[in-house]
Structure 1
Amino acid sequence: MKNPITKGTVTAAMLTLVSFACSDKFLDVPATGQLALSQTTSKAGLEALLLSSYAQLNGRGFSRATSSFNWVRGSVSGGEANKGSNSGDGGGNTNFSTFQRYEILPTNGDINDKWRGMYEGISRANAAIRALASAGPDLTATDKTRITAEARFLRAHYHFELKRSFNMVPYIDESLDYGSGIEKVTNATDIWPKIEADFKFAVDNLPATQGAVGRANKWAATTYLAKTYLYQKKYTDAKTLFDQVIASGTTSDGKKYGLVENYTDVFNAAKDNSQESVFAIQAAVNTGDVSNSAQELDLNFPYNTGSNGPAGCCGFFAPSFELANSFRVSATGLPLLDGSYNTGANQLKNDQGIDSKTAFTPDAGPVDPRLDWSIGRRGIPYLDWQVHPGLDWIRDQSYAGPFSPKKFVFYRSQDKSLTDGSSWTDGYSAINYNIIRYADVLLMAAEVEIEAGSLETARNYINQVRTRAANAATWVKTTDGKNAANYVISTYTTAFASKEAARTAVQFERKLELSGEGHRFFDLVRWGIAAPTLNSFLAYESAKLPTGYSGAKFTAGRDEYFPIPQTQIDYQGKDILKQNPNY
C-alpha cells in the first residue's frame, strides 16, 4: 500500500532522497492523518486518544452551535438572549435566528453539526476504550481502569447532550463502527439507561482527585449521574447523590466544593478551576491553535468597541429585554415571582433608540446585583474597560436590543495574555465554561429536596446562592467606589408556603444565577413549561424587537427537541432513523 506524502513532508523526503539515492528506504514514510496501532497502545498514546475526546467539548471543527456550552440552544432558544448583531449577520451555517424564532428545519446545518460533533466526541472516547485491549506494558491496571472510566464519562456526556437535544438517538459504544456505513443503529430505543450505566461505571472507578486539573473525577461523575436522574424525575436517586456531593465532593485537585466569594470570579479566566468548578471545558490561548480557546464565543462581544472595549466584534448573544427585567426586585430584595417585572415601572429602564451622545440616566430602582455582572447596559462600568456607552456598542438596536453580553468577556488587563491575538479577533479567550458548577448543584439539589418534601433544606440551598450574591464588597462599583446601581438582595426568611411556591422560587433562582450559561431552554423543557413560558416571552419580546421575532412561535409537541438532521436520515435510511414528531 502506498504511503501518501503531503506538502509538509516534501522537503524532508527530498533530503532523504539525496542521502539514500541507492536505497528504497526513503519510500517508507508513515501515513499522515492517521495513527498506527503502535502509536496508540502506549500510555502516552492512550492518554492522547482520551484527551482528543475532551478536546471535542468545545465543538471544534464544527459550528459554534456544536459546543457543550449550548449558548445558542440553551440561552437563545431559552429566551435569555437574542441572536444579536443585525438581521443580515450570521446567515448560512450560523443562522442562529432560526433558534431564536423556533423555525428549525431538519436541513439546518447547525443541528447536523451538533449531531456530528457529539458523535465525534463519542467516537474518540470509544477509540480509547478499544485501544486499551492492546495496551502496552507501560500501562498499569490502575491506568486502564481510570482511562476506561474517563472515556465512559465523556461518552455519557456526549450521549446526554444528544438525548436532551434530539430525544431519540442511537447509543454507540466501542463495539460499533458507527459512521462507516457498515453498521447502522436505530434511534428506536430510549438511551437513558445506557447513559446511566456509563456514569455509574465512572462513579465506581474514577479517583476522587486527578493528576491534572480539568479531568473528570469521581465527584464530577456522581454529580452528572444525579443530573441524569433529575432529568428523568428520579428524585430519590438524585437526592442520594447530591447529598454525597454537597457533603464530600472535591474538585479534581482535591479542593472542597463551594461557592467562590465573588460571583464574577466564576467567569474570570484568571480564576478558572476554582472550588465552584465541578466539570468544565478547559480553554487555553497562545498555543498556536485558537481552537484550544473558548473559540465558540468569538462573536459574543459588544460591537464596534475600538481600543476602549473588548474584541471589537460582533454583537451576538445580546441579552433579552425579558431577562434584564427579571433582575428587578422588591423593596425587600426578593425577585418578583408573580411576573410583574415585565409590567409598568418594574421594567428595567434602557436606552433603546437613544443616541450615545444624548444624556441618559440608568435605572434607579432596586435590582439584583447579579444584573450588572451578567448584562452590559448603558451607564454601568463594563468590567475594567469603560462605562458602557450604549448605542455606540450595539450594531443594530432595532434588531438586537440595547444590551451586551458580559459574563464570558475578558478584562482589559487580560488582553493578549488571556486572549489569543493570533487571529482576526482577540475574542478567542482563555475563559473556561463550567458545564456544571457548584451553584448549579445546589439549585438542582434544591429541586429534588422540594419533590422529596424537604422544603426547608431546599430553602437553605437557594439561600446559600443568594447569600453569595449579597456580598456587597463584590458588587459592581463606580470609579469612586460607590455601588453602580441600586442593588438590593435578601434571602428567603420565611418558610415556603407550598411545594408549588418552592418550585417557583428555585426555578426563578436558576434563571437569575445561571443566566446566559446555556441551561434555560433545557430547564423549561424538563419542567414541562416550555410552551407557555416561551410563548409568553415571545409575545413580550416581539413587541420590542418585531424584526427579530417576526412570526416566532413555540409549538408544543415539536419544538422541545431538534429534528433529526435530514442529512443523517438520508445517510442511514429512514427505516433506521425516525424523524421526531411534527417535523
Structure 2
Amino acid sequence: MKSIKIKVGVIAASCIMMFAVSCDDYLEVLPTGQLGQAQLVTLAGIDQSLIAVYSQVNGRNLRMASPSNWVWGSIRGGDANKGTDPGDFNTINPIERFETDAVNVNPAENWRGLYEGIARANNVLRLLIDKGPDVTDADVVRITAQARFLRGHFYFQLKRNFNNTPYVDETVDYKNGIEDVVNNQDLWPFIEADFMYAAENLPSTQSQVGRVNEWAAKTYLAKTYLYQDKFSEAKTLFDAIIADGMTSNGKKYGLVPYYDDVFRGGNENHEESIWAYQSAAGTGSVNNANPEFDLNFPYNTLPGNCCGFFAPSFTFVNSFRTDASGLPLLDNSYNDPGNRVKNDMNITSADPFTPDTGNLDPRVDHTVGRRGLPYLDWEDHKGSVWIRKQDWAGPYSPKKYVYEKSEEAGFLDTSSWTPGYTGINIMILRFADVLLMAAEAEIELGNLEAARGYVNRVRERAMNSALMRDNGNMAANYKVSLYNSAWSDSDMARKAVRFERKLELGMEGHRFYDLVRWDTVQEEMDRYFALEGVMLPAQMAGAKFTDKHKLLPIPQGQIDLLGPDVLIQNPGF
C-alpha cells in the first residue's frame, strides 16, 4: 500500500473582511485552487512538489508511460501478445507486429508522460534555487538527490525507447528559443550524472518506504553502466548492492523465499523490492491506485472482470519446458512440436481438457494462467470462456500483479469503471534482476563461476515453489534444478543467464530491451513469429521484425511543433 500519500486537492483560501480593510487590500488575494510562489518555496511546498514527481512515475492517466512497460518491453519482446480482440485498443496492433509509425498515439503518449515527469523534477530543482528560510542546506541535498534520481529514471526510459531525445534540465529557459530542445546529444552521460549524484547523496534508508534510497540509485546506475557495456563499473556497484544493500525500510536485500509471494499485495515492500511504485486502494481517489493492469485481467470473470489484454504467448509458455534433469532447453528447441506445452487452443470450456504432464519449470504457473490449473486462490482457470477472443489472443492469461481473492478487501479499488485498479505496488527494480545483471557483468569479465552462483541463487528459489513443496512431495510435472557443473564456456554461460532472465522476469517489461542490448532481437523475434504466426494467424500472420524497430519513432506531432531540422526522426521512420 502507498507509503507516500499522493493527493490532488484544491487549496481554498478563506478571506475574512475587517471594516478597516481597503478595497485594494481586498483585491489582492491568491487565486482559488492555486499556490503562490511564496507557498511553493517553503519546505512543505517543495516536498509536495517532489511527491508530484513520484506520482508521475506511474504515468498518471498516460498508460503508455507506465513503468511496467507491458507493451514496450513484454509485448514487443514476445512474452505476450496484445490479447483481447482486434478492435479494442487497436493502436497496439501495429506495435506488436512492428509496423508502428510516427503518428501512432502510443509512442506519443509515452513521450508526453516521461517528459511530464522530467518537467516536474526540474520544477522541484528550480524551487530549491529560490528556497524559503525554513529549507536547510541538508534539505536541499536530500530533495535534490530524489528529484535527480527520478529525472534519471524518466530519461533512462526515453533513451531505451527513442535513443537520443532533447535533454532539458532546470537551467533551460525557453525564452531563448528552441535551440535547447534538439536531440543530437547522447543522453547516457546525463543519466549517469543524475544517478551518481543520487547515489552519493541519498541516505541508505528512508523514513517513508516509497522514497528512493542510496541503494536504489546505485542499482539504477549499475543498470545504466550495463546498458553501455561498462562491465567493470557495473560489477563494482553490483558487488556492493548484493553484499550490503538495504531496502528503504532497512531490510537486507535478498530473494523472497517463495516465488509465489513476490507479487502479492500482502507481501509488498519486501526484501526483494529495491524500488517500487507505491499504490493504494480505497483512498477516495482512483489516482492513488495502480492502473497498470486494469485491462489485463481474465475476461468476463473475477478478478478484474476485464478485458483480456496482455495474453502470454505460446513461445513464452513453451520456454518453461525443462529437460530430464530440470534445466531449460538452451538449444531453443522448446518450440519444436515435441516440446510445446499442451494447451486448450480451439477447445471450448465445455469440452474436456487435461493439462500438460511433461517437465516444466514451476515459475510458468506463477506467471501464466492455464486451463484446468488454479488461478491464484480464485478457482481453476476455465479456458476459453475467460478469453475474450481465443483465436486472436490465444489460450493464456497473465498472473503477476493480479490480486488474490483473499486480498480483495484491502487491495481492490472499486471507485472507477472497472475493479481492475489495485493497491498492489509495481516493482521497477528488484533483487533477482540485480543478481542476473551481476551475472552478465561477471561473464563479460571472465568470472563464469561467479555468474553461475548468482544464477543458481535464482533457480534455487524457483525450486522452493509452492507447487513443488506440498509437504515435500514434488508434483510430477514440475522439475527445476541447479547448474551443478562448472561453467567453462562463456557462450554457454551467456545463454544460461539470458534464458534465466526470460524465465524469472517474464511479463515484467524487460525482454525487448534485453534482446536489443544483446543484439539478438532479430533471431529471437524471427523464432517468435514463426510459431505465433501459425497459432494466431489472424493477429500475427506475416508479422516480422526489422532493424529500425529497435527504437520507437519520434512522435510526428513533436517534430511538427519544432521542425525536422531541430528534432531529427529516428532512421527508417
TM over 0.5: yes
Q: Deviations over 1:247-301 (max 9, x none)?
A: 1111111111000011122211111111101111111111222122111211010
Instruction: Trace 1:314-393 onto structure 2 (pairs within 5 A).
Output: 314-393=307-386
2:68 and 2:509 in contact (8 A); partners too: yes
Distance 1:366 1:236 in 2: 38
Q: Deviations over 1:4-42 (max 9, x none)?
A: xxxx999x99x9899999957665552356431112111
Report the more deviating stretch, 485-494 or 23-32.
23-32
Q: Please tell me the residue identity of whatever aligns with 1:81.
A: A
The equivalent residue for 2:467 is 475
Q: Please tell me the residue identity of whatever aligns with 2:66.
A: S
The equivalent residue for 1:399 is 392
Change (3 A) 1:493 1:481: closer
Instruction: Trace 1:183-262 onto structure 2 (pairs within 5 A).
Output: 184-262=180-258
Shift of 1:550: 3.4
1:59 and 1:296 in contact (8 A); partners too: no
Matched, 1:419 2:391: no
Q: Deviations over 1:337-365 (max 9, x none)?
A: 11111112210000001111111110001
Q: Please tell me the residue identity of whatever aligns with 2:533.
A: S
Alignment RMSD, CA only? Answer: 2.3
Q: Deviations over 1:113-136 (max 9, x none)?
A: 111111111111111111111222
The equivalent residue for 1:567 is 557
2:11 and 2:32 in contact (8 A); partners too: no
Shift of 1:44: 1.0
Change (3 A) 1:204 1:500: same
Change (3 A) 1:105 1:32: farther
1:181 and 1:572 in contact (8 A); partners too: no
Q: Which residues of structure 1 form unaligned runs of 5+? A: 1-7
The equivalent residue for 1:152 is 148
Distance 1:282 1:312 in 2: 23
Q: Secondary structure at the match of 1:117?
A: helix
1:176 and 1:183 in contact (8 A); partners too: no
* Identical residues among aligned pairs (%): 53
Shift of 1:97: 1.5
Query: Normalised by the size of structure 2, how large is the TM-score?
Result: 0.94
1:146 and 1:206 in contact (8 A); partners too: yes
1:160 and 1:195 in contact (8 A); partners too: yes
Distance 1:335 1:286 in 2: 42
Change (3 A) 1:98 1:239: same
Q: Please tell me the residue identity of whatever aligns with 1:207.
A: P
The equivalent residue for 1:38 is 38
Matched, 1:519 2:518: no
Change (3 A) 1:481 1:463: closer
Q: Secondary structure at the match of 1:345?
A: coil
Change (3 A) 1:471 1:407: same
Q: Deviations over 1:417-453 (max 9, x none)?
A: 2110111111101111111100000000000000000
Instruction: Trace 1:109-124 onto structure 2 (pairs within 5 A).
Output: 109-124=105-120
2:273 and 2:429 in contact (8 A); partners too: yes
Q: Please tell me the residue identity of whatever aligns with 1:245.
A: I
Q: Secondary structure at the match of 1:278?
A: strand
Query: Normalised by the size of structure 1, how large is the TM-score?
Result: 0.93
The equivalent residue for 1:577 is 567
Distance 2:182 2:133 in 1: 38
Q: Deviations over 1:282-340 (max 9, x none)?
A: 111112221221112110100011xxx20111000000000000011011110011111
Q: Please tell me the residue identity of whatever aligns with 2:567.
A: L
Matched, 1:284 2:280: yes
Match of 1:170 among 156, 159, 166: 166
Distance 1:16 1:502 in 2: 74
The equivalent residue for 2:451 is 458
Matched, 1:493 2:489: no
Change (3 A) 1:9 1:68: closer
Q: Secondary structure at the match of 1:87?
A: coil
